Amino acid sequence: MLDAFIDIEDERRIHRLYALYCHHFAHGAPQDWVSLFTPDGVFAKLSASQGGLGTSAQTVEGHAALLEMTKGRREMFQGQVRHQQTDIVVLPGEEVDTARGQSLILVTDWRSGQGRLAALGSCTADFRRTKQGWRFARIELSALPKPAAQAVT
């Protein structure tokens, strides 16, 4: 992992995808958020939120389903929930024009006034280079605490 790199320009563009993912989600721009995914892109939340966000485990595939999910989250979060992805590592994928990312996630909830930490977890992402540039092919979020079946022993 220490010596596996992709081209620096490609890595920079993928880091931009991570940032736009959070910005578009936070600012209620569902169509812009969906445009960050390949047409068959997948969003998988592997565990229900434990911090009172009101989200459940789910897997959503394709632009239409991603758009519907994001619009629902926009209404639920009322523009008062923020997502951050940190400690991002981008590695070469198994095929040409693919990459894999790992990051940590932090979610804060400001709906009740003073902000509070609502979720921590990790994220893995698969990226694919398209004619439009790099896009998320799949993103998986796993919040802490992990369900017993996912916990690493």
Report the Cα 23 to chain-centroid distance in Å.
11
Q: Specify the DSSP element, H or E, that contains 135.
A: strand 133-143
Give the residue, 1 or 86, on which the prediction is more confident.
Answer: 86
pLDDT tens digit sequence for 26-48 = 888 999 999 999 999 999 988 77
pLDDT of residue 41: 98
Give the residue, 47 or 135, on which the prediction is more confident.
Answer: 135
Average pLDDT, the chain: 88
pLDDT at residue 152 greater than cutoff 60: no
pLDDT of residue 148: 57
pLDDT of residue 78: 81
Kindly report the pTM of this predicted structure: 0.88
Which domains, from first to last, does the chain contain? Answer: 8-143 (3.10.450.50)
DSSP assignment of 84-126 equals EEEEEEEEE-SSTTEEEEEEEEEEEE-TTSS-EEEEEEEEEEE
In angstroms, the CA 45 to CA 112 distance is 24
pLDDT tens digit sequence for 47-78 = 776 656 667 788 999 999 999 988 887 777 88
**Which of these ranges, 3-12, 53-62, 101-110, 121-130, has the smallest mean pLDDT?**
53-62
pLDDT of residue 53: 64
82 bridge partner residues: 108
Determine contact, residues 100/90, Cβ cutoff 8 Å: yes
**Ordered strands of the 133-143 beta sheet:** 58-61, 37-45, 133-143, 116-130, 98-109, 81-92
Q: Residues 6 or more apart from 16 whose CB is under 8 A from it?
A: none
Q: Residues 6 or more apart from 67 whose CB is under 8 A from it?
A: 30, 31, 34
pLDDT of residue 36: 98
